[in-house]
Structure 1
């Protein structure tokens, strides 16, 4: 029977020592080993992307910041001078698309690995075991090491294996070790942490920017803030409380940049700020007919061995032996805003099927609807987890620093592409991933210095075509010179004919070159000395500029 990893939690949370000479940790973890198929990563086609090199400048530092649940348009109804200044000084994306399912842990692990959820295996906020029927909530799942360490390496470990020093504060996945390694410096929030305390936010910024990036000279740090997600859940994304929390986020962004300047890091620190998902207003009775599984004719929880429902708009079901078709048929078409899929039939664009942890039946609701099990128990005014094509699920993206262009707005892209971008900024070779550096290369100041060796798949064919275009252009020119010279010697054509023929050959040379994506030949700007012809000189008296 399909089951997730098991184990018992050890006590303690990560603690950071301020000394540069000695970093102390009390790292939580698990005794025991992963059981069942969860230890096996799904098969998939890797897309390795190398760093972009070609410069001898010192490596810049990188700070990755996530503001949980910050929707792409949250700055439109609030004055955000610091986010606006960051966009002016750097790069702003219209929005970014998170992976499905659009919840915290899976989306954050995509940022850290560059993989879709079915490929990195952190499929849910909740650890579960289908044999013991045990489930752990979000916070406790942070300490289930095997839930996170299941074959995909986060960027902390990749960077450290290549000689860099990394740290992480409160970022999902921080508590775990990966193949026996963990971030050099890390801190996990206490269990009942106040995610919205602005004073604590500033203390954390001082710690990360001043002590870690500055004092301990870390190369890369990931940092997590739990808002405006919590406020969006409690009060809704259109509430005045959410708008006030966005103002707090904006003040914190200003404080982060000021802190970098105070510690002399502004000229060598790249900062990426984004989020894991957006937020949508929940539709409830009496405005709509809510989705309650127990009220669906023909459906019974007795036909299930295990289920995860009452978790927003997404659920997973494990039917008892021989009951899958019965459960599927009962749910199919039972509510106009409920979708049910057999795992193998999930839309490929969602990348949420090809992993053994994903249960045989998946259900998800249209934007605005949530799925209740027995009775409507969810009272949140805002929710996420919906289809990642829904605009309200799109997060924001800002980037600023010495490696980024200024005052640039780029189009939308998927968050799997943040990982190869970060690997380039750190100058490290990435693990196999689903992202592409080409998607974000136009953000970079030194895009023209990209090292083709870093990505042979992307660079080989263009280089071949450019070379062929240059050869073709040269042959056109030789032919033009030879033909015109012969004609001139034989005195068999007029000046205008010579001119027309040469211009045609030059045009063909340029067209051939441009068709292969290069203006290498055309930049020579082959020209004719027309005045020689006008002055009744020999029609062959021309030269190149």
Structure 2
């Protein structure tokens, strides 16, 4: 009887162990998110891009995605990595600013300033780390900050003056990231490239050099796929390729009159803070009691739209921001804002209304969890966050996106339709149904064994 009981206990333990679901970390796929800054949705349509074309056959392509309002690098990237609207995460500009002290910090210098990024919205790196995953940021905006004292496991920060277009370095960076996945078991890496934004600003989106950079990006994607295979990551690494905003040609004299706001109001007399010489998006803090006067004067300026912050369209998702000052100015497409005189030299720019097609961006995805040859209808970039959480098998932090918008891209979604319809925000939570079923089977088998070995 004693021998029978010991044998029963051994077999029961084996059954229970085998019936439990596999450890999630053991079977978990890895994820690489790559952002090519300023890659407009149609940049691959006038250039020979064999590798991007192949991606459309081997994975998922969206017709385009819509960045958040406002269409700038830091706000848009942080929306992608948090799944929160700009009014929620409060990274409301590329410049770090304080409208009370007149502080203005250039974009590259903000990358390690945690007080600019850490406003309560938790980025994916930290959420993943808190659930046992290993994460890294390679030049991605926000990766160099701390969040409630927590830092990304590994973060490389882009320094001022670093060249954006060195193809050799691009490949070296890919090799480095692949080794992080294959040799150091990182689960999530976010990677940032500063092109084609730089060439778009300097020479305009229609310049031949922009096409040269797109070809370089295409070669880099080809190199990425080779590197994935070389590091034996084909069956374990999902890849999402995206961008933060598009680019449009800046309208300049002598063809058009450029916007100079001081012609219409005395900025020194009526305002105490401004950021106006920076693309198509401007912010103004009127002096006490001057808000209506400033608003009325700006309403007469051609080629711009002026908003009181609390009266902005709900679709902007900016009105609740505590950081933004009371007056917001948005230039018509291609019309850069100038404060007192014309200082802006860029041939191309962004920061304009996110409904403009020139502000739309790309989305590509491939890997073991994605369907092949799948064309998605357009969607907002905010929905990328819950998709990434699904791929990493983690519980999301509170966010404004919806997995329902993107999960039909996945092999296990079961859907065939390419139409996506945004739904109200939900934070998806994993269920315990599968584990309960396995445990019930184990208990049933154990009971049967008990009858067999005890003769009851």
1:177-219 deviations in Å (ceiling 9; x for gaps): 1111111112112322111111111111111112x11111100
CA 1:312–1:54: 2 relative to 1, 3 Å: farther
Match of 1:446, SS state, is helix
Task: Report the equivalent of 2:270.
Answer: 303
Matches within 5 A, 1:382-531: 382-448=348-414
| 1:238-263 superposed Cα distances (whole Å, 9 cap, x missing partner) | 11000000000001111111101000
1:146 aligns to what? 115
Q: Could you say what the CA RMSD is over the residues aligned between the two structures, in angstroms?
A: 1.9
Q: Compute the displacement of 1:353 (Å).
A: 1.5
State the shift of 1:333 in Å.
2.5
Question: CA shift at 1:287, angstroms?
Answer: 1.3
- Say which SS state the counterpart of residue 116 (structure 2) adopts: helix
Q: How much does 1:299 deviate?
A: 3.9
Structure 1 distance, partners of 2:100, 2:44, is 45
SS of corresponding position for 1:266? coil
Give the equivalent residue in structure 2 for 1:69: 38
Matched ranges for 1:175-214 at <5 A: 175-210=144-179, 212-214=180-182
> 1:352-367 alignment to 2 at 5 Å?
352-367=318-333
Instruction: Say if 1:299 and 1:330, in contact at 8 Å, map to a contact too.
Output: no
> Which residue does 1:106 correspond to in 2?
75
Determine the C-alpha separation between the residues in 2 that align with 1:456 and 1:414.
17
Q: Which residue of 1 aligns with 2:308?
A: 342
Deviation, structure 1 residue 143: 2.0
Kindly state the Cα deviation for residue 441 of structure 1 after the two structures are TM-superposed.
1.1
- TM-score of the superposition, structure 1-length normalised? 0.71
Are 2:395 and 2:429, in contact at CA under 8 Å, matched by a contact in 1?
no
2:337 pairs with 1:368: no
Q: Is the 8 A contact 2:200 2:210 kept in 1?
A: yes
The change in CA–CA distance for 1:459 and 1:165 in structure 2 (over 3 A counts) is: closer
Classify the secondary structure of the residue corresponding to 1:77.
Answer: coil
Partner of 2:296: 329
Secondary structure of the structure 2 residue equivalent to 1:78: coil
Query: How many aligned residue pairs are there?
Result: 400
Deviations 1:14-45 (A, max 9, x none): xxxxxxxxxxxxxxxxxxxxxxxxxxxxxxxx
* Partner Cα separation in structure 2 for residue 293 and residue 280 of structure 1: 21
Q: CA deviation at 1:132?
A: 2.4
Distance 1:457 1:231, change over 3 A: closer
- Higher RCO structure (Cα 8 Å, ≥6 apart): 2
Structure 2 segments unaligned to the other structure (5+ residues): 1-20, 416-425, 432-456
Gaps of 5+ in 1: 1-52, 450-454, 461-545
Listed as ranges, the matches of 1:184-333 within 5 Å are 184-210=153-179, 212-296=180-264, 298-333=265-300
Structure 1 residue 459 displacement after superposition: 12
- What residue is the counterpart of 2:58 in the other structure? 89
Question: Is the 1:95–1:412 Cα contact (8 Å) retained in structure 2?
Answer: yes
User: Separation in 2 of the partners of 1:332 and 1:293?
Assistant: 11
Q: Which moved more, 1:418-427 or 1:82-91?
A: 82-91
SS of the residue corresponding to residue 411 of structure 2 reads coil
Question: Given the alignment, which residue of 142, 145, 150 partners 1:173?
Answer: 142
Larger Rg: 1
Q: Secondary structure at the match of 1:435?
A: coil
Contact preservation (8 Å) 2:108, 2:158: no
Give the distance between the partners of 1:442 and 1:366, measured in 2 at CA.
35
How far apart, in 2, do the equivalents of 1:253 and 1:55 lie?
A: 32
Asked whether 1:58 is paired with 2:27, we answer: yes
